Amino acid sequence: MEKFVMITGASGGTGFAIARRFAREGWNVVITSRNEAEAKAAAESVAEEFKVQAEGFQSQSGSEEAVRQMFQSLQDRGIVLSALVLNAADLGMGQKALEVPLEDWRQVLETNLVWNFSLMREAARQMKDAGGGSIVVIGSNTARRAIPDRSAYIASKGGLVSLSKALAVEWGQYGIRVNVVVSGSIKTARWAAQTEEWRQVRRDRSPIGDIADFEDIANSAYFLACDQSRVITGAELVVDGGVDAQFLPKNAP
């Protein structure tokens, strides 16, 4: 049976690397993005490179009906997901808790937590009928070690960890596994735009002297989705170079 994986927010960056990782193993991929043209372009690129089936869809955060229609469209094409990877969203950065409008704060939770739950539930309904599947959430280590000015983001990421544990327990009877990749800093475009001095400071904060690139997160997501982790559920895989494990950076006074 052919395997399909859906990766949200996968038109570029970490999500695109995750899509390529699955395709390299022969999985067919469904890529979603807020921008339909970018989602389709990314899917075409993956299909051409790896000779797999790839579909691109626009995702509308906050719309439960749009989620249902997307999954119905997949089912109408004979596509049933074996895995769903919820790629991280960067909403809620720079929000000062004493100043942020409540509606803006609420919107971060609506997108990062409530909308992701709707995606997980629709995928699980398919997986239950198909005999099982795997859901992987790309989380953040800031839910474990907080930093200023992103309280809604951190709350939503912490909520996703708790939600994943709850659903792992509730859906395990259907053969559905739910796990979290807890990522630290990643070498994104923001990383590339910084000075080398700034980047070295960030490296030095890690016990191994480096932070994750896109492929590190992609490898972790693939491991938790594939049969190599078949008895792992309700778990957190921390991928941050050891930052979460240490009390102080190695060069701290």
Q: What is the pLDDT of residue 63?
A: 79
What is residue 4's DSSP assignment?
E
| pLDDT cut 90: percent of the chain above it | 74
Reading the block at residue 218, the tokens are 């992609």
Burial of residue 18, with CB atoms counted within 10 A of its CB: 0-12 exposed, 13-18 middle, 19 or more buried: buried
- pLDDT band with cut points at 50, 70 and 90 for residue 178: very high
The answer, yes or no, to whether residue 32 has pLDDT greater than 70, is yes
Q: What is the pLDDT of residue 187?
A: 84
Architecture category of domain 4-245 in CATH = 3-Layer(aba) Sandwich (3.40)
- Is pLDDT larger for residue 205 or for residue 222? 222
- pLDDT band with cut points at 50, 70 and 90 for residue 91: confident
The answer, yes or no, to whether residue 237 has pLDDT greater than 90, is yes
pTM for the structure as a whole: 0.94
- pLDDT band with cut points at 50, 70 and 90 for residue 89: low
- pLDDT band with cut points at 50, 70 and 90 for residue 4: very high
Q: What value does the mean pLDDT take over residues 188-202?
A: 84
* φ/ψ (deg, to 5) at 191: -65, -45
Residue indicated by tokens 């997307």: 70
Q: What is the pLDDT of residue 202?
A: 83
- The 10s digit of each residue's pLDDT in 96-135 is 999 999 999 999 999 999 999 999 999 999 999 999 999 9
- Is pLDDT larger for residue 170 or for residue 1? 170
The answer, yes or no, to whether residue 250 has pLDDT greater than 80, is no
The answer, yes or no, to whether residue 248 has pLDDT greater than 90, is no
Pure H helices in 92-188: 102-109, 116-130, 151-171
Q: What is the pLDDT of residue 81?
A: 96
- pLDDT band with cut points at 50, 70 and 90 for residue 191: confident
Q: What is the pLDDT of residue 253?
A: 58
